[in-house]
Chain A
């Protein structure tokens, strides 16, 4: 690599600021945990029930990550090499399952796979035995529903990072689809898959409502539920903190492993065209891709359709409080998106030299929201009424929770840009803002848009740390949905769920399209 001819001080300063941001993120997550330990006055050891909860949590998280990632490969590949009407809509809709409040999504899934769902009705007509969704398989199914689209989108990003010229070269050499996979696609997957699997594993480690509701009973107890129990049933803060620490250690170890296995290599740059895929133009592969896309569209769209169907009736009679909550949530989403994207870029910048930085960013989903919430409460309470800070706290916690996803998108993207253009930029003395403005930003528009869309949509759907910070006057939309359900108003809740889905998708689409505009030539 070419040495930088003008090592300006500004670069050192910006590095220092970047490290300060990393320290802040680590502090915002670790300090609350410490506060809980401090308040507990020590730790108490987890009991045998906690260990079996840990075992179940690990099993379901590994299976969920595995299935999500393995299934996402053919889907992303089909999306990457096919053009068809509705492709963009499908890609946008893929953001949807991920952002729905858990209970809304679960009810959607049950409308398809539940006792009186579509699948069982079909089986009934055909005279076949009914399927049972409750159990480990149901938990994994739901987690795949949530995370397969995310994995697909990130992998699609990976596919789009392979320059069209490579595929042209492959075609001119007469390579078949198997060789293309081996030479072009596999190296990309090798460097992308571990990271994606790691993020999904980390999300599923924190699963609580999905695992319990679809797991069918106490066999499906997760660590998060054990933490919940330690808090509210036994008020054993020490045990809650130890369990949170175990959860965090698991994510950190996995992150380290995943980063180790992610191979680093760029492809060199092309002209950013949508590649034509000569090797895939056989009827068999076309059929295969159509089948894959058809199945995944059914799998994702049927439950979403059920959410829409259930919600339409309640939509026109939504109470005014729901609209107010929606506006609160939108403002929060924009604020936390700005923070998330800023942090993700900072982390991506540092991750080029120090991969371990990513593990810090991942902590946002590694620690139980209940523990973070309680810890923040303990930290704030001596100085101020936590309810007054609902907005700030929710925004920050949402931003930290979205950071791992934004990082997953931006880290590889920035790494590729720097790898491919960095030496040239260095030799031109292009650093600091100039480098960011003229090199990074234009190259990163698409992933930036995607990351911002994810962050905004995630923040919309996140319940945040409501348990300890609820402010009656500034309820968020997910909280109002929960309240409507708690007050028997299931139809209004379904309507509000649909509203949430629409707003989230709109935000996601706005950012995502913003990133794509003028990019596809």
Chain B
């Protein structure tokens, strides 16, 4: 096919096909819809009870998701956006594209949740993960003083990387710069995303990797390997709460609410722990899978207030860049 024909084909392909059953379109991040994520099981479970078609559309990660939504604006096909985290909520709010949901939820989060627009579906703590038996610094200062090598993610391109930035900033405030300067010689390298960092750690390139307190559960449950541990830090652990929201432009408002209700029901929540490797936002009746009980339970949960997160983020990024560019 010649390029001009291609362009013609590009431009003429038809719009959404007419469907008999109602279609609920959910935008989410790519790893949610992947064959190894919660997507396939969630789709099956919801379609069994909704007499509808659940259509997942994957787009990069949480930040890319929001970017796509901004590009599309009110013309978006999406009825639900699932996969924004607490760091993105303010920016999502400012788009004015979301509307309040009508769900009464009794959530099991370490913090109180009051946001009227966004409903959490899972959460986790960031943590450094290392090998059992290796030295375990108890906080950032001890880590900086040690000669352990860590691999972290770039906050400009990765959600966990941003989480670490906010963790240090929230825990140390004005001293965050000094902490980063202390950590500079511990950082083996900074990767664009979580996968690269975790891969590097498993290859022995570093002693510790920034990941989640739930990471050891994967190795334990899926690989019967108990050699990975998350390190409890005395500062407390920064949280990631993942949320979904209903778009004001939806043509399926009832179905969207039905999905959100389903999202915090057992059917959805039992899928989360061993596919997304996060804690369910509402504890299922059967509890957590075996293996989760061995995970560390941070004493203190840290989360920057949603409306201050943006300003804090820009300040923290400047400090991070300055400290590590020396």
Contacts and interface: CB of A to CB of B under 8 A. Distances in A.
Residue with the highest number of chain B CB atoms closer than 10 Å, among A213, A396, A489: A213
Contact of B189 (A25, A214, A377): A214
Contacts of A228: 156-157, 192
B15 A385 contact: yes
Interface stretch (B56-64, B137-145, B233-241, B283-291): B56-64
Nearest to B156: A229
Range, interface on chain B: 35 or more
A115 B149 contact: yes
A114 B198 CA distance: 15
Contacts of A385: 15-16, 77
A389 B59 CA distance: 14
Interface in A467-521: 467-468, 470, 472, 475, 479-480, 482-490, 493
Interface stretch (A189-197, A216-224, A242-250, A261-269): A216-224
A486 B32 CA distance: 10
A218 B3 contact: no
A97 B64 CA distance: 29
Interface in A314-366: 319, 321, 335, 339, 342-343
B23 to A, nearest CB: 12
Interface in A181-238: 208-209, 212-219, 225, 228-229, 231-233, 235
B199 to A, nearest CB: 6
Interface stretch (A103-111, A289-297, A440-448): A103-111
A470 B2 contact: no
Given A21-B3, A213-B191, A392-B6, A218 B324 contact: yes
B203 A470 contact: no
B25 to A, nearest CB: 10
A114 B325 contact: no
Contacts of A232: 63-64, 67, 156-157
B154 interface: yes
A472 B33 contact: yes
Q: Summarize A's interface: helix, strand, loop or mixed.
A: helix
A387 interface: yes
B71 interface: yes
Interface string B195-226: 11011101111100000000100110010000
B325 A219 contact: yes
Contacts of A489: 36
Interface in B53-77: 56-60, 63-64, 66-68, 70-72, 75, 77
Interface of A: 20-21, 24-25, 28, 39, 49, 103, 106-107, 110-111, 114-116, 134, 208-209, 212-219, 225, 228-229, 231-233, 235, 319, 321, 335, 339, 342-343, 374, 377-378, 380-385, 387-389, 392-393, 396, 466-468, 470, 472, 475, 479-480, 482-490, 493
Given A217-B190, A470-B33, A470-B57, 16 more contacts: A24-B4, A106-B196, A107-B203, A110-B200, A216-B188, A232-B67, A233-B63, A235-B66, A235-B70, A342-B2, A385-B77, A466-B60, A472-B58, A475-B34, A479-B30, A485-B195
Interface of B: 1-4, 6-7, 9-16, 30-31, 33-37, 39, 56-60, 63-64, 66-68, 70-72, 75, 77, 91, 149, 154-157, 184, 187-192, 194-196, 198-200, 202-206, 215, 218-219, 222, 277, 317, 320-321, 324-325
